[in-house]
Amino acid sequence: MPESANRAIPGPCDETRVVLEARGVSKCYHLGEVEVHALRGVDLSICEGRMLSLMGPSGSGKSTLMHIIGLLDRPSEGSVIVESEEVSAMAPNELAAVRNRRIGFVFQSFNLLSRTTALANVELPLVYAGVSGTERSRRARAALERVGLGDRMGHLPNQLSGGQQQRVAIARALVTEPSIVLADEPTGNLDSVSGVDVMTILQDLNAHGITVVLVTHDDTVARHAERIVRLRDGRVVADDPVADRIWAADRRDEVVEEAGGVQA
């Protein structure tokens, strides 16, 4: 497992260090006659190397916003800027190139290929990127080691616990060396100990300079970030620093004890 995160208080963020920005982003889905306004004019700037939690009731637009800032979907209005590149007008192949180079995704449901080993799952993004076989294997092994799964590389997803599967998914997100990791409810399907382990990894990545955006319904999970943005009905209704930030590595013993002393 990674060592505990660097806890230096981040310095001020000026405009030159904004890595991800949504400007006036709206998203309207048309379902027959019905229009669903999932986002209504969202402005959000995220600085390099920061960690942010996105909260809000079900249906408030969190996943829609993650998909748009992660370049998996386009806004109906407004623009998205990734590392100074305005991406709204890009062609699909250009968009995919920026996404593959810069952004790693982690989802609540892991999204691993079921008949494929942990190692091959992690190699997959490199197959798409055209990386050679030996190099793929080397990098995928290193990513799995980084999330503490060096001894599970040949396992299929159903031979791994939920927490281990989520760590494989994190390794898969990391293997392309993204500068931004977007995680949509990464602990939503996990037991408390596995959840702490996933948060330890995300804080460790952040301590190594990776920008992390995390969606969660859980107030404790949200406080692992340094800033919490709240959405309601497709709008940003609050944007606050976290005064009492939680460090996952510090909580593990306590959480293991609460869970009945079972170590993953």
Instruction: Report the interface residues with ligand ATP, using CB under 6 A.
Output: 29, 31, 36, 38, 56, 58-64
Q: Name residue 153's amino acid.
A: M
Q: Could you tell me if residue 185 is left (phi over 0), alpha (psi between -120 and 50 degrees) or otherwise beta?
A: left
* Closest distance to Mg ion from the beta carbon of 95 (Å): 21
Half-sphere exposure at residue 164, Cβ-oriented, CA atoms within 13 angstroms: 20
Nearer to ligand ATP, 7 or 30 (CB): 30
CB of 234 to ligand ATP, least distance (A): 7
CB nearer ligand ATP, residue 72 or residue 255: 72
Question: Who's near 70: CB < 8 A, 6+ residues apart?
Answer: 99, 103, 105, 182
Please identify, using beta-carbon distances, which residue of 62 and 102 lies nearer to ligand ATP. Answer: 62
The nearer residue to Mg ion, 37 or 155, going by C-beta atoms, is 37
Question: Shortest distance, CB of residue 122 to ligand ATP, whole angstroms?
Answer: 26
Q: Whole-angstrom Cα distance, residue 209 to residue 173?
A: 15
Q: Interface residues for Mg ion in 134-153 (CB under 5 A)?
A: none
d(C-alpha 209, C-alpha 154), whole Å: 30
Q: How far is the CB of 181 from ligand ATP (least distance, A)?
A: 18
The item of Mg ion, ligand ATP, none sharing an interface with residue 29, based on CB under 5 to 8 Å by kind, is ligand ATP
Q: By CB under 5 A, what part of segment 41-100 binds Mg ion? A: 63
Q: Which is nearer to ligand ATP, 125 or 186 (CB)?
A: 186
216 closest CA partner among 197, 193, 176, 189: 189
CB 226 within 8 A of CB 206: no
Q: How far apart are CA 144 and CA 121, in angstroms?
A: 10
Least distance between Mg ion and beta carbon 73 (Å): 13
Pick one of ligand ATP, Mg ion, none as the site partner of residue 176 (Cβ within 5 to 8 A by kind).
none
Name the H helices within 181-247. 192-207, 219-222
Segment 179 to 218, residues that bind Mg ion, using CB under 5 A = none
Which chain residues interact with Mg ion by CB under 5 A?
Answer: 63
